[in-house]
Amino acid sequence: MAGNNAAAGAAAEEQALQHLLAQGLVLVERNYRVARGPSARGGEIDLILRDVDGTLVFVEVRERADGRHGGAAASVGARKQQRIIRAAQHYLMRQPSQAVACRFDVVAIDGDVLSWIPGAFLAR
């Protein structure tokens, strides 16, 4: 079953990527992972893109078979957001020192419906 979940996740990420590319964003990196430690989960950013205005966009892709239980977007809770923010901070520390605008988007796929939510959450 894990293989099916991984394949479904990869397909959802590809669908989200193609949608965002069609909106003019440019892919910078996929599946950026940060290890936190032996007993704590790190963070992962599904997609990192650059928007047409230069904003660096960190994208979480979530997929659900349907909208029950709040749907895909609702599954990006506070704990998941903090892991994404931590991974984004790590990513930015590795970049040349330059001020760059950033935002956190969610692409939610509920069945056949794809919703792109720019600025879905803020780094706190």
Cβ contact 97:4 at 8 Å: no
Into how many domains does the chain fold?
1
CATH of the domain at 53: 3.40.1350.10
Alpha-carbon distance of 79 to 77, in angstroms, equals 6
Of 66 and 22, the structure prediction assigns the larger pLDDT to 22
Q: What is the pLDDT of residue 35?
A: 81
pLDDT digits 0-9 by tens, 50-94: 999 999 999 999 998 766 667 899 889 999 999 999 999 999 988
Q: What is the pLDDT of residue 42?
A: 76
Full-prediction pTM beyond 0.95?
A: no
- CB contact set of 11 (below 8 Å; sequence gap of 6+): none
Cβ contact 72:62 at 8 Å: yes
- CB contact set of 118 (below 8 Å; sequence gap of 6+): 57, 103, 105
Domain that holds residue 111: 2-121
Only one residue has tokens 């020192």, namely 97
**pLDDT value at 122 more than 70:** yes
